[in-house]
A = this chain, B = another copy of it.
Amino acid sequence: MSASHWIQALCVFGFAALLGVTRAGAQAQPQLNLMPWPSSVELGTGQFRFDESFSVLPDLRGPQDARLNSAVGRFVQQLARQTGMPKRVLERPISGSAKFLISTEHGSKDVQELGEDESYVLQITTDAVLLTAPTALGAMHGLQTFLQLVEVTPDGFAAPAVTIHDTPRFPWRGLMIDVSRHFIPLGVLKRNIDGMEAVKMNVFHWHLSENQGFRIESKKFPKLHEMGSDNMFYTQDEVRDLIGYARERGIRVVPEFDMPGHSTAWFVGYPELASGPGPYGIERKWGVFDPAMDPTNEKTYKFLDELIAEMTKLFPDRYFHIGGDEVNGKQWDSNPKIQQFMKSHNLKNNEALQAYFSQRVQKLVTKHGKAVVGWDEVFIPGVPKDIVIQSWRGQASLAQAASQGYHGILSNGYYLDLGWSTARHYAVDPMGGAAANLTPEQQKLILGGESCMWSEYVNAETIDSRIWPRNAAIAERLWSPQSVSDPASMYARLHAVSARLELLDLTHEKYYRPMLQRIAGPASPEELQALRTLTDVVEPVKDYAREQLAPAEPTSATPLIRVVDAIALESDTARRFAELVDKYLAASCRDAGVDARLRAQLISWRDNDARLQPLEQRSFLVKEVAQTSQDLSALGTMGLAALDFIAKGTGAPDSWTAEQTSAIQQIQKPKTQLLLMPAAVIQKLVDAVTPGGSCAGSKPQ
């Protein structure tokens, strides 16, 4: 369709008036808390005030687009939440000066496609807002940008006058959630999809099957969910509901059925699919396990053909994920029939056997009208060109596929379960590493990336806090120009965006206090504060160390209520303290104000252990972190001593420095799977104790 559609509030008025205003010169730049940052932002003069005269009427002229209408309805709801103005008032057409117009050229496709035009132009003047986009999808992104621009001001809520031209860098910007290792209820998925919409992600990758659970109803093979899910699965109605929910928010849903490994839960009901004898139970532990489908049995392919037929009907997206990762091959090695098959088919090793399996399954997916997505392992030279490789291995793997003409998306570097800092994820670029050396044509094959939330150590209560706000920074990496990469700017904006995401019912900030209360049990406000002073500066151990340092073998029955579960993955307090220390040490003369702030923080740490002790005696969950609490006190004491030495300018005895350094090394060893984040910074202070100092003469008294 090329006709211009109009969603129009209140009054109709001329284009010219609008277009004339938006080019006003840029002023002193206010902080815009936009994430992802747009392709182009040109600030105008003044602001568009938001009050009860503001109205949006989803009143399309020309053909209606139901999805855009629905998006406008939710936009108004969200504006109501941000500003407290009742939705009823915002929907009511009142005569007034505020105007919000939306113009699109094309309505939505029945099924959202990879690579649709998602661009938009948002022009805000003091009088009106004009949002233009080639597609409904672009307009929906523009609505989200507007929501991020509305902020409290001295005169009420307002959005700054600005002209934004915006288009995504990559067409595939996804979040994968593993709902198998821990089941994640539908409502939790929905609020995460709301979060994805807010940061313009457009693919929800639904990791539906694993050793630990087959989470979707199959009418064709009901023993899959009946015996493989502990009765925790999504009905097909719920799946359709979620797909519709995601579509309304501009998000495609790609289901993953992981095979031939990661599939023990399938075998509980259908042991005949496996390469070993069985019987099988739902896996309760974490790791890579032996059970794998039997690639040599024609019945396996008949089963998969029927299952894929059922599931590809349910999921309208063009792409269908078949997993393919981490087969250890042990069941294949020990099955004589399989060994015989390999010989007779000239399959030299398990890799070749998996390639054989993969090609067979890819043909089934293609037969049912879908394109395949799979982890690195499914990439076998010669497979159809519409396959998409999802790389958990890294940019080199991606670049290799691209160099042979295959599409890929990056997930290595975006694993949310590894506890990395936001900045570390943010620095990973799909075009980085080996991909940077590709030709421009080859680079076009890299479609984007996906953050991955593997769920060994998350459940409905904590998962939001493990995805957000970090996922917003990954969303920016995938949407914004590659040059948008300053971590300081990212953190400043992330802080504001995070608060806003909580208004979408995400719980990544508000989960914290109730978890601390459970850990503490009945406690006075002072005791709770002492616990928080400690938990605010610890982080879980990184990468796969949690598994390695577990006090007992973790299983799916292990409660996720310990301090390691309750804390944020990234300590804001520690990061800000580190920044303050850097500022202190970088200054040529000691800043008394900074010194005072550092001391106040160090004193509160030093004195905290005494305050926490009553709780340590009452709660096993606090008792567990007693050593870390003592360590924090010790760090406080050391930091204060270092500041004193620095103030004196005399340096410190060598023995002192050595003792502190040794103590800090002990403190830096993880305890109860926790890292005490200020340790490294205190070491910096200790190291800064040198005779003289750069500005000894001008020290305040």
Binds B, one of A378-386, A418-426, A438-446, A510-518: A510-518
A621 touches B152 (CB 8 A): yes
Instruction: Mark interface residues in A306-330 (1 if CB within 8 Å of B CB, else 0).
Output: 0000000000000000000000000
- Partner of A522 from the list B33, B155, B521, B623 (CB cut-off 8 Å) is B33
Shortest C-beta distance, A516 to chain B (Å), equals 10
User: Is A82 an interface residue when CB atoms closer than 8 A count as contact?
Assistant: yes
- B83, B153, B522, B623: the one contacting A559 at CB < 8 Å is B83
**Are B88 and A230 in contact, CB atoms less than 8 angstroms apart?**
yes
In contact, A521 and B556 (Cβ under 8 angstroms): no
Contacting A620 at CB < 8 Å: which of B152, B461, B502?
A: B152
Q: Which B residue's beta carbon lies closest to that of A524?
A: B495
Determine the distance from Cα of A232 to Cα of B77 in the docked complex, in whole angstroms: 14
A20 within 8 A of B: no
A369 within 8 A of B: no
* B510, A522: Cβ atoms closer than 8 Å: no
Complex interface residues of chain A between 39 and 88 (CB less than 8 A to chain B): 52, 81-86, 88
Residue of B nearest to A83 (CB): B559
- State whether A618 and B557 are in contact (beta carbons under 8 Å apart), knowing that A84-B518, A503-B514, A518-B84 are contacts in the complex: no
- Please provide the chain A residues from 122 to 156 with a CB less than 8 Å away from any CB of chain B in the complex: 151-156
A27 beta carbon closer than 8 Å to chain B: no
In angstroms, Cα B522 to Cα A503, docked, is 14
Contacting pair B31 A522 (CB below 8 A): yes
User: Is A272 an interface residue, CB under 8 A from the partner?
Assistant: no
Cα distance, A151 to B620, chains bound together (Å): 11
Complex interface bits, A492-534 against B, C-beta within 8 A gives 1, otherwise 0: 0001100100110000011001100111111001000000000
Given the complex of chains A and B, what is the CA–CA distance between A619 and B157 in angstroms? Answer: 9
Query: Is the pair A510, B518 in contact by a Cβ cutoff of 8 Å?
Result: no
Closest to A573 in B: B525
Known: A83-B559, A557-B86, A561-B83. A620 touches B518 (CB 8 A): no
- Contact (Cβ within 8 A) A84 B559: yes
Q: In the complex, A560 Cα to B513 Cα: how many Å?
A: 24
Q: Which residues of B contact A517 (CB under 8 A)?
A: 499, 502
Is A687 in contact with chain B by the CB < 8 A criterion?
A: no
Query: What is the chain B residue whose CB lies nearest that of A232?
Result: B88
Known contacts A519-B152, A623-B154: does B84 contact A561 (CB below 8 Å)?
A: yes
| Known contacts A153-B618, A559-B85; A496 and B522 CB within 8 A of each other | yes
Q: Is the CB of B151 within 8 A of A522?
A: yes
Q: Counting CB contacts under 8 A, is A89 at the interface?
A: yes
Within the assembled complex, what's the spacing in Å between the Cα atoms of A510 and B82?
17
Which residues of A159-182 are within 8 A (CB) of B? none
Does the CB pair A152–B513 fall under 8 Å? no
A617 contacts the other chain (CB 8 A): yes
Cβ B499 vs Cβ A52 within 8 A = no
Return chain B residues, CB-CB under 8 Å to A88. 230, 232, 557
Is A82 a contact of B151 with CB atoms below 8 Å? no
Q: Which of B503, B514, B519 contacts A510 (CB 8 A)?
A: B514
Contact assessment for B232 and A154 in the assembled complex, using a CB-CB cutoff below 8 Å? no
Chain B residues closer than 8 Å to A514, beta-carbon distance: 499, 502-503, 510
A496 and B527 CA atoms in complex are apart in Å by 13
What B residues does A151 contact at CB under 8 A?
521-522
* A572 at the binding interface (Cβ < 8 Å): yes
Closest Cβ neighbor of A51 among chain B residues = B559
With most chain B CB atoms within 10 A of its CB, the pick from A84, A154, A514, A623 is: A84
* A262 and B22 alpha carbons, distance in the complex (Å): 50
Bound-state Cα–Cα, A572 to B86, Å: 30
The answer to whether B152 touches A618, judged by C-beta atoms less than 8 angstroms apart, is yes
Which of A85, A89, A509, A573 is packed against the most chain B CB atoms within 10 Å?
A89
Closest to A31 in B: B522
Residue of B152, B232, B556, B619 touching A152 (CB-CB under 8 A): B619
Which chain B positions have C-beta within 8 A of A232?
A: 88
Smallest beta-carbon distance A151→chain B, Å: 5
| Alpha-carbon gap, A436 to B81, bound state (A) | 48
Residues of B within 8 A of A623 (CB): 154
| Nearest residue, chain B, Cβ from A536 | B525
The answer for the CA separation of A395 and B432 in the assembled complex, in Å, is 76
| CB-based contact A521/B152 at 8 Å | yes
Also in contact, A522 and B495, with CB within 8 A (given A155-B620, A230-B88, A510-B510) = yes
User: Can you report 16 residue pairs joining A to B where beta carbons are below 8 Å apart?
Assistant: A31-B522, A83-B559, A83-B561, A85-B557, A86-B557, A152-B519, A152-B521, A152-B619, A152-B621, A153-B618, A153-B619, A153-B620, A154-B623, A503-B514, A503-B518, A510-B513
Given A82-B518, A84-B518, A502-B517, 17 more contacts at CB 8 Å?
Answer: A52-B557, A81-B461, A86-B559, A88-B230, A151-B522, A152-B518, A152-B618, A153-B618, A153-B619, A154-B617, A154-B619, A496-B522, A503-B518, A509-B513, A510-B513, A510-B514, A525-B576
